[in-house]
Structure 1
């Protein structure tokens, strides 16, 4: 029995900021713990991050979607539409590459986090997303239908959230059914809450695609010039080694690995960041108070920020309106928490046991 080779599972997160890659970390660890052999496939900073986290695992570079954000919120949808021929081309390239990878790397199952072209008819395939409903303003019905049509090509859809009142994604993660089994696997975070003495009054967590990441960085660094407390800024730029620099009361890192980030978040009083879903899951796990600035024009982040603000968990505002004094409102909000939920990975991974 023991001589059977481990089943090899291709884990392929989308390279769109770091969120998709970081939320795959607990799943990769769970696969290893359940005697599977993960093979990581992605591109850009998502691939770089996972190579740093799992230096012993095999990694494969996938074709890049190369999607850039617009600088102005009102052009976000237009930019995505302009990019769609490029996107379709990338997805087709991805399908081709996946076909080859499955053969040459002896892949037994696939877990795709929002990579539309990474699936195969010959092995069990899972699509992971927290967006069964894709918000796009007046075209929400269309973007949702298109997304669900893609998800149907997989065998199962895993939603990293709870169903019902404990949901972090709200209506994004709800669906009337899409023709394949949907499993709610609970929020995913690579981080753990621990008791630390507070070292920083404020931690600024930057992430997400360009040019918006840089635009927010420049805005916040300017606002921080008048900040009286101690601040830690993590820029989310993965290049070379993790570097640190200090000026007055502000400590800057280009990026942090999981352990360093976990420690820093636990040592910080307030977190200032985008309202990306992975960040929300992380901060809920760490039971943090936060302030959110959604990426301009990104409906999903705007919806999450508005919902959590209305529910009294986290204040938020538009990027152009932000002033450092607004952080004073955080004390009037509850902050994020999670209902304790433990995923039965053994049962969840049964799909990969054989088809």
Structure 2
């Protein structure tokens, strides 16, 4: 009988679930049976991608962002009791799942309570250091305390230079084994005819997802080229609305998304780490608008702009004219890295 591995991504935007797609495929290819465990849009997405796999609903973290980016940290602090409670519920749910199912291992992508001493437990994160402004030392210490409850930490980046995560994914000392598994992407680069001048990719917690959607809809109405706009709303049925030069999708499954990104000259998106990994894999030019107040996205956007790879600006400051900066930047490029899944899965 094939060993069953629980794969549990955090439901915070779509990035954690989408970067688990190559891991789920690798588990299947290496003769394991993945079981998906998550909630909300993350669970809905993976159920669409893998309709034949078993899936389990976990307690929700119910994370939302402040409307004002300056209040981001305060909002998270205010929500922390709710977050701790969700982690406790998650741990109870995992104990029950293990009692009722024969599971050989756990792979948690940023779900802090999804581990158990009875079986090998892996934590996936690109944040060994968690940026939170003046409290970065505290948020890092707290995050690392949670990670230490796992057997190993997989970082989706490369250990040396150049790398994608910078100081987020690299630290001089850590108490549990770290394995750099290379950038994770569900996509494959293909040489395609460019059919879209611009593609917009949005996801992430509300209300900031909607605020960016409204901002870009307004700014891009006078854009002269062809636009594909993907809202990142995981609904039961895919919808497409045509407005002049713009095709608006509520969501795209992986196959269509890969094809459309490959066929697009420029991508506007958040500077979420999974998006960066995907666009690097597909060798894309991009423009980044980090989520207001989210230190990690602001750091990544600033770093890539300083490296002359991708221009960026704040959400409030974005205008159509900002896209004139794009030709001066190199764009993102794929790393020549082969993930050794045989070695990674030997833990189970």
Distance 2:160 2:314 in 1: 28
Moved more, 314-323 or 96-105: 96-105
Q: CA deviation at 1:178?
A: 2.0
Distance 2:113 2:173 in 1: 21
SS in 2 for 1:268: coil
Match of 2:303 in 1: 307
Cα RMSD between the aligned structures?
A: 0.6
2:275 to 265, 274, 279: 279
Does residue 202 of the first structure (1) align with residue 198 of the second (2)? yes
Q: CA deviation at 1:243?
A: 1.1
Match of 1:50 in 2: 46
- Number of residue pairs matched? 348
Match of 1:60 in 2: 56
Does residue 318 of the first structure (1) align with residue 314 of the second (2)? yes
Q: CA deviation at 1:92?
A: 0.2
Match of 2:331 in 1: 335
Match of 2:247 in 1: 251
Does residue 214 of the first structure (1) align with residue 219 of the second (2)? no
TM-score normalised by the chain length of structure 1: 0.97
List, as ranges, runs of 4+ consecutive aligned residues in structure 1 with deviation greater than 6 Å.
none
SS in 1 for 2:20: helix
Q: CA deviation at 1:66?
A: 0.3
Distance 2:257 2:238 in 1: 11
Does residue 345 of the first structure (1) align with residue 344 of the second (2)? no
Q: CA deviation at 1:114?
A: 0.2
Match of 1:112 in 2: 108
Q: Give the gaps of 5 or more residues in structure 1.
A: none
Distance 1:227 1:182 in 2: 45
Q: Given that residues 287 and 337 in structure 1 are in contact (C-alpha distance below 8 angstroms), is that contact kept between their aligned partners in structure 2?
A: yes
Match of 1:98 in 2: 94
Q: CA deviation at 1:331?
A: 0.6
Does residue 71 of the first structure (1) align with residue 67 of the second (2)? yes
Distance 1:187 1:339 in 2: 8
Distance 1:99 1:140 in 2: 32
Distance 1:120 1:175 in 2: 25
Q: CA deviation at 1:216?
A: 0.1
SS in 1 for 2:316: helix
Q: Give the gaps of 5 or more residues in structure 2.
A: none
SS in 2 for 1:166: coil
Q: CA deviation at 1:225?
A: 1.1
Q: Given that residues 102 and 108 in structure 1 are in contact (C-alpha distance below 8 angstroms), is that contact kept between their aligned partners in structure 2?
A: no
Match of 2:221 in 1: 225
1:23 to 19, 26, 45: 19
Deviation sequence 1:290-339 (CA, Å, 0-9, x none): 00000000000000000000000000000000001111111110000022
